[in-house]
């Protein structure tokens, strides 16, 4: 998409592509994606399903005539991260003499506010810059059950997690119209700063056969800063 983008998605792939927008433009994109995968764990099959739906991209661009060509400004909202998972398996672990069962249900999305511009620096050269500020999160429920055959011990774990994400990323791109049949483009994506915070409530129950068992409830709050390295993308159209 780096050399060919010519609509509002240029804010994400290469802001220099905004210069190909020659009139006031609006874009609304909705999506639905469903996937299911079956694989194995401990020799037993288990499934992974994913459903993604909702707003994908929405925005508008306005071109302004200028002395050397055109200046195009744009603003948009797009779905940046998505997490919709349903993972489950159950398997006998004969080596450790136990049976393992696990379930993860997770859903959430993070949206970014994108602003940027593209400008024709010459008749054969366009450049652009964009900035994305994003905010969102996810909810996750993890459940596991381990049965120790040798000690006839059942251990149940339930984790209820609520996570928040926010951060920023920028892009700088250029397109060189070297020939009417050959356009060369480069886009640099800055390191992406991601701030993550989670609130987790955990419940652990252990039951020994013919015993009353015990339950322990705990809560925890964590904060983490991630930095996704920069990207350098290039292409020829």
- The answer to whether residues 78 and 115 touch, using CB atoms and an 8 Å cutoff, is no
State the pLDDT confidence band at 48, using cuts at 50, 70 and 90: low
Rounded to an integer, the average pLDDT of 186-215 is: 91
Q: Is the pLDDT of residue 58 over 70?
A: yes
CA gap 112, 179 in Å, rounded: 35
CA gap 35, 52 in Å, rounded: 9
Residue 29: closest CA among 59, 56, 9 = 56
The residues with which 176 forms a beta bridge, in sequence order, are 125, 184
- The answer to whether residues 169 and 188 touch, using CB atoms and an 8 Å cutoff, is no
Which two structure tokens, joined as six digits, stand for 13? 């792939």
- The answer to whether residues 28 and 58 touch, using CB atoms and an 8 Å cutoff, is yes
Q: Which of 33-37, 113-117, 195-199 has the lowest mean pLDDT?
A: 33-37
Local structure of residue 211 (DSSP, 8 states): S
By CB atoms closer than 10 A (0-12, 13-18, 19+), residue 64 is exposed
pLDDT at 93: 77
CA gap 184, 128 in Å, rounded: 14
pLDDT at 186: 97
Determine the length of the chain.
237
- The answer to whether residues 141 and 105 touch, using CB atoms and an 8 Å cutoff, is yes
Rounded to an integer, the average pLDDT of 106-120 is: 93
pLDDT at 209: 77
Percent of the chain with pLDDT over 70: 91
* 60-111 residue pLDDT tens: 999 998 756 689 999 999 988 887 878 888 888 777 788 889 998 988 889 9
Q: Is the pLDDT of residue 40 over 70?
A: no
* 141-177 residue pLDDT tens: 999 999 887 778 889 999 999 999 999 999 999 999 9
State the pLDDT confidence band at 46, using cuts at 50, 70 and 90: low
pLDDT at 61: 95
The residues with which 146 forms a beta bridge, in sequence order, are 100, 155
């Amino acid at each position: 998409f780096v050399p060919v983008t010519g609509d509002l998605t240029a804010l994400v792939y290469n802001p220099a592509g905004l210069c190909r927008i020659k009139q006031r433009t609006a874009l609304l994109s909705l999506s639905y994606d469903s996937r299911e995968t079956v694989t194995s764990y401990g020799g037993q099959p288990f499934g992974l399903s994913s459903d993604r739906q909702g707003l994908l991209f929405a925005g508008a661009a306005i071109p302004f005539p200028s002395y050397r060509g055109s200046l195009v400004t744009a603003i948009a909202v797009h779905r940046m991260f998505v997490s919709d998972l349903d993972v489950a398996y159950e398997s006998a672990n004969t080596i450790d003499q136990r049976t393992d069962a696990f379930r993860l249900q997770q859903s959430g999305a993070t949206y970014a506010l994108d602003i940027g511009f593209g400008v024709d620096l010459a008749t054969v050269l366009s450049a652009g810059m964009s900035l994305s500020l994003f905010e969102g999160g996810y909810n996750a429920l993890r459940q596991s059950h381990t049965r120790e055959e040798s000690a006839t011990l059942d251990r149940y774990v339930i984790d209820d997690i609520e996570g928040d994400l926010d951060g920023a990323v920028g892009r700088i791109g250029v397109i060189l119209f070297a020939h009417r049949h050959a356009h060369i483009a480069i886009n640099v994506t800055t390191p992406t700063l991601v701030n993550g915070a989670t609130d987790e409530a955990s419940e652990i129950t252990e039951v020994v056969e013919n015993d009353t068992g015990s339950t322990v409830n705990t809560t925890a709050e964590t904060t983490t800063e991630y930095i996704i390295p920069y990207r350098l993308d290039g292409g020829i159209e």
